[in-house]
Structure 1
């Protein structure tokens, strides 16, 4: 973390130098002449190289970060020049409810860089524009102000993940919450545990290929300017046929993270809130190369009816907004549905890939049984797995639930023999849950 100390010292010297110029008329030093040596293994160095950050950008980054490390950083420096206090509007900054120190605004960094020199201020204004990579990639953002107020009065805010990675060297994945309505999916399963038809395997392989080569395709092969960003896939088929675990393993075997979006937490009865919830989700996921998995997508992408009232009007607006964000997302988005016909035909043509997960046939059910039964259980002489596979139309999810029940009964009774009676009992128990 020595680099953080280095750039904070750089900010302190630059701020003091500007204040000495403002209050005492001392000449301003060219901060570009100052040498900044960063550890080439540090997160800050890698970030600097990735986005080709100038010293101005490093100063902007540090100005935004410093309140998270030294709460009274700016207050202490200003106090030396205004020992009796007093208003100092030129420096900008705001006070918060729970943070006692001054939090910088756009005006703060502009003053440090340019003072009140109009020509210099105009020169540095683009630094706070959305075209700046720090803003474009949502590392920083300028908090919106009330209508009519100067834009630079907005707080400078750093994405909490970048605050964490710059101060601790690591980053924690977000947890499911009202503010982040998505669940991180993980599994100890492997591709070998899955039983899928050959056609499904081929289509899943296509997704793996895209995840592996998308950067080369877009940049080196120059297709990025011709193709829409990202990749959109529809997984459809009966419940329990492997849609979720396939999405999870796609992430696992391509080194990505996958998040299942809970649409019930996103869709709000309050007008405008759904767009706000969706915006927060996509803003967080953008440029992190996450796979976004929308389960039961027909809840929001179902066939639309005519606009009968204001509710229908805003519901259609929500769908249009979600579709817009999905189409502009630069990673893999997977929508899952039980039935393809549940998805509005206007959306179907927008998918790059449509994958059907059928209910397993008898031979696939037999393979699932063989893969699922733990070695600790011994097959009873009266139990023929092929008969079970032929006689009961079950999904992989059903079979795992049945195996869990059987295993618990065996552990409790201290009997490791898997009999036909116990197997049938477990199957009936599972089917009764669905009213069958």
Structure 2
């Protein structure tokens, strides 16, 4: 990393020597790829970064490891203070040095050469891998101010990657209303009927071959980006587990959207929250999972007042963002009829998660009971499966309850009484009688 920062400094010195007409100007530095090592080198090779992108990456990263980097460079040319507007840069409340802006990047690459500055602007917006993938971005500025005067950012997860080698997963927060969901289970643990499993395999096929279809088969001009799916069915039938497994077996992160943090009573805030989420996810190859999606994707209403008007605008905005999102979006709902038909018409797949049949319930009982613990002889799993119409989540809860009661009573076997008590508790939660 030190060699890359040396190259960055020499590039600034080269441009500043020209501006200040230094008597012995430094010649234009050249980056030797062999001088770049570590995690940045791996990333550069993997993504075939240009020399300009390497400079942009170094510029965005340097404040995080060398806070005085820019201020010390400019101080050599302006020892008595003063400003060089074309150098850009800003000072903030907490940081004592200079933070780079888009203008700093423009000066770094093009100096004061007008044609080169225009060429850099075009490169940044049309060719830069880092900018296109939103690995670096420029802060939006108030109307009327130069666009490049915004602060140059490196995405947080990449700061961690280039310093430690690991990408920092975004955490649930007010600015990122989603949580990573994972599972230690396997496909064999997902007990569904054959029709539902076949539909899920279609999603897995899209995740595996979409890039080949779009780029190698040149279908990107004919097929809309992304894949939109709806899961519907009773709670506890495997919708969330399915999303987690799709991510696990295709090496993708699955983020469950916390709709309570997305929806706002203030006009425009819901759209703003979702826009931020979709923008961050656009180039990350994530799976977005909207659980209980009725809250946001519900049916539009007849316009009776201003509230209805803006609620319908929210749905229309969501429709547009989902349709243009390049990744997999899964909407989960208890009832298919609750989702606006404008969304369902655009889904590639609508998959029903049915309450398990007798055979599926039997398999769920067998899969989830602890393997090393004896079951009393009076426990007949066939009878339990036939008599009690419950979901996989119910069965897991019942087994957990029975196991804890067995441990509490210091028994060595799981008995029928505890299992029946667990079933009674699950029925009571749903307002049903045994």
C-alpha change, 1:362 and 1:158, in structure 2 (3 Å) is: same
Q: Deviations over 1:178-210 (max 9, x none)?
A: 111111111111111121101011111111111
What is the CA-CA distance between 1:284 and the residue it aligns to? 2.0
Q: Which runs of 4+ in 1 moved over 6 A?
A: none
Corresponding residue number in structure 2 for 1:322: 318
- Structure 2 distance, partners of 1:60, 1:278, is 29
What is the CA-CA distance between 1:27 and the residue it aligns to? 7.2
Corresponding residue number in structure 2 for 1:91: 87
What is the CA-CA distance between 1:50 and the residue it aligns to? 4.7
- Structure 1 distance, partners of 2:294, 2:91, is 45
Q: Deviations over 1:20-74 (max 9, x none)?
A: 222234576663x614224787432343345443222222222222111111101
- Structure 2 distance, partners of 1:263, 1:253, is 26
Report if the CA contact (8 A) 2:177-2:262 is conserved.
yes
C-alpha change, 1:12 and 1:238, in structure 2 (3 Å) is: same
Corresponding residue number in structure 2 for 1:433: 429
TM-score of the two chains, using structure 1 as the length reference: 0.94
C-alpha change, 1:345 and 1:137, in structure 2 (3 Å) is: same
- Structure 2 distance, partners of 1:403, 1:370, is 11
- Structure 1 distance, partners of 2:221, 2:30, is 39
Once the two structures are superposed, the pairs formed by residues 318-357 of structure 1 within 5 Å of their partners are 318-357=314-353
- Structure 2 distance, partners of 1:27, 1:181, is 54
Once the two structures are superposed, the pairs formed by residues 271-282 of structure 1 within 5 Å of their partners are 271-282=267-278
* Structure 2 counterpart SS, 1:94: coil
- Structure 1 distance, partners of 2:21, 2:417, is 93
* Structure 2 counterpart SS, 1:95: coil
- Structure 2 distance, partners of 1:42, 1:285, is 26
Corresponding residue number in structure 2 for 1:110: 106
- Structure 1 distance, partners of 2:197, 2:87, is 60
C-alpha change, 1:228 and 1:28, in structure 2 (3 Å) is: farther
Corresponding residue number in structure 2 for 1:120: 116
Residue from 128, 136, 151 that aligns with 1:155: 151
Report if the CA contact (8 A) 2:160-2:166 is conserved.
yes
- Structure 2 distance, partners of 1:336, 1:27, is 67
Corresponding residue number in structure 2 for 1:173: 169
Report if the CA contact (8 A) 1:57-1:127 is conserved.
no
Provide the alpha-carbon RMSD of the alignment.
1.9
1:18 aligns with 2:44: no
What is the CA-CA distance between 1:152 and the residue it aligns to? 1.8
* Structure 1 counterpart SS, 2:33: coil
Corresponding residue number in structure 2 for 1:47: 43
- Structure 1 distance, partners of 2:173, 2:214, is 34
Report if the CA contact (8 A) 2:252-2:286 is conserved.
yes
Q: Deviations over 1:314-347 (max 9, x none)?
A: 2222222222222222221111011111111121
Corresponding residue number in structure 1 for 2:408: 412
Q: Deviations over 1:353-392 (max 9, x none)?
A: 1111000112211111111111243222222111111111
* Structure 1 counterpart SS, 2:41: helix
Report if the CA contact (8 A) 1:106-1:128 is conserved.
no
C-alpha change, 1:77 and 1:406, in structure 2 (3 Å) is: same
- Structure 2 distance, partners of 1:15, 1:254, is 43
Paired residues, what number? 432
Corresponding residue number in structure 1 for 2:134: 138
- Structure 2 distance, partners of 1:123, 1:366, is 67
- Structure 1 distance, partners of 2:185, 2:365, is 15
Residue from 202, 209, 212 that aligns with 1:206: 202
Once the two structures are superposed, the pairs formed by residues 291-310 of structure 1 within 5 Å of their partners are 291-310=287-306
* Structure 2 counterpart SS, 1:394: coil
1:8 aligns with 2:5: yes
| Worse-superposed segment, 294-303 or 313-322 | 313-322
Report if the CA contact (8 A) 2:401-2:418 is conserved.
no
* Structure 2 counterpart SS, 1:382: coil
- Structure 1 distance, partners of 2:15, 2:214, is 44
What is the CA-CA distance between 1:435 and the residue it aligns to? 2.2
